[in-house]
Amino acid sequence: MTSGDHTGIELNLEDKNDWELEQIEIELLLEGIHRFYGYDFRNYALPSLRRRIWHHVHAEGLTTISALQDKVLHERSCFERLVHNLSIPVTEMFRDPNLFLTFRQKVIPLLRTYPYIRIWHAGCSTGEEVYSMAILLHEEGLYDKARIYATDMNSRSLQQAKEGVFDIKRMKQYTKNYLEAGGKQSFSEYYTAKYNSVIFQPFLKKNMIFAEHNLATDRSFNEFNVIFCRNVMIYFNDELRNHVHGLFHESLSHFGILVLGAKESIHFTNFSDSYEALDRTEKIYRKIK
């Protein structure tokens, strides 16, 4: 065996050991968080979870995942920063405008026939999706008979959602999205600008209910005509995704509508036969059994 070969074998073994050790450290960190704080990240998809954890190790000025475990378990504020980091609160108003346009065209006519409408935005982040829905329902004359339940596991994002204050710099993009989504008025009528922020009209909030809810650990809490859960389950593994689909199936009324994100699908889940596609491209499904 040449020394080159020998070094090669040693390197491979070292890589294997590093990888095994990293796996153990991640598992211990997630187990500790689950047992101590009750947040369950154990079934999040590993590649993005791993990236986020390492990002957080460095952000906390640490060098190992074990050191992060120590800090997270002994300092609640460090744990809260980690939850915020793992939650990926990226969102925008009328995100994927064509989905909202299709919702107006295909779902609103169904909702008109109901005496009242209950909508759940699961994983609502900082609330942009929820305010978009309130505007849409208002323009369709349905907001007064609607209740919008907006939930997320991230309390910091939820607080922002409740306030309804957004960065003024994003309004140009949101106005474009609103118009593409079939918006019927002037978007600026819905908010008042103040310094670098805008605050949305208080009437939009009147039928919104915000609450902390963790899809991995909390139960169904009502029956809904519509559930939006977009760009949340892409971060879950198959087991957790199926668990959450079970929760949604239990929470939807018969013929209830499920709306997923652009990169998500009901196919390849345990519930694919329970829904028909109302619009396959926009990921709008209707519960049929």
Ligand X SMILES: C[S@@+](CC[C@H](N)C(=O)[O-])C[C@H]1O[C@@H](n2cnc3c(N)ncnc32)[C@H](O)[C@@H]1O
Residue among 104, 230, 245, 287 that touches ligand X (CB under 6 A):
230
Give min distance, CB of 154 to ligand X, in A.
Answer: 4
Beta carbon of residue 229, minimum distance to ligand X (angstroms, whole number)? 7
Distance CA 119, CA 264 (A): 19
> Residue 63 CB, nearest distance to ligand X (Å)?
27
Q: Tell the smallest beta-carbon distance from residue 125 to ligand X (Å).
A: 3
Tell me the closest approach of the beta carbon of residue 244 to ligand X, in angstroms.
Answer: 8
Site string for ligand X, 165-204 (x = CB under 6 A): ----------------------------------------
What x/- string results for residues 31 through 70 when contact with ligand X is judged by CB under 6 A? ----------------------------------------
Q: How far apart are CA 225 and CA 115, in angstroms?
A: 11
According to CB under 6 A, which residues from 250 to 279 bind ligand X?
Answer: 261
Q: For 172-251, where are the E strands, in sequence order?
A: 191-194, 197-200, 208-212, 224-229
Q: Which is nearer to ligand X, 30 or 232 (CB)?
A: 232
Window 72-91: residues binding ligand X (CB under 6 A)? 87-91
What six digits make up the tokens of 81? Answer: 């920063």
Shortest Å, Cβ 261 to ligand X:
6
- Region 131-170 residues binding ligand X, contact defined as CB under 6 A: 152-154, 157
3-state secondary structure of 166: strand
Backbone angles phi, psi at 136, to 5 degrees: -60, -50
Main-chain dihedrals φ then ψ at residue 184, nearest 5 degrees: -110, -10
For 53, other C-beta atoms within 10 Å of its C-beta total: 22
Residue 193's identity, in one-letter code, is A
Q: Which of these ranges, 29-37, 61-69, 110-118, 227-235, lies near ligand X under the rule CB under 6 A?
A: 227-235
Helix (H, G, I), strand (E, B) or coil at 289: coil
Strands across the sheet with 197-200, in order? 165-167, 197-200, 191-194
Q: Which helix (H) or strand (E) holds 253?
A: strand 252-260
Element spanning 211, H or E: strand 208-212
Q: Hey, how many other C-beta atoms are within 10 angstroms of the C-beta on 3?
A: 7
What would the x/- binding string for ligand X be over residues 204 to 223, using CB under 6 A? ----------xxx-------
Binding site residues, ligand X, CB under 6 A: 87-91, 95, 123-125, 129, 152-154, 157, 214-216, 230-232, 261
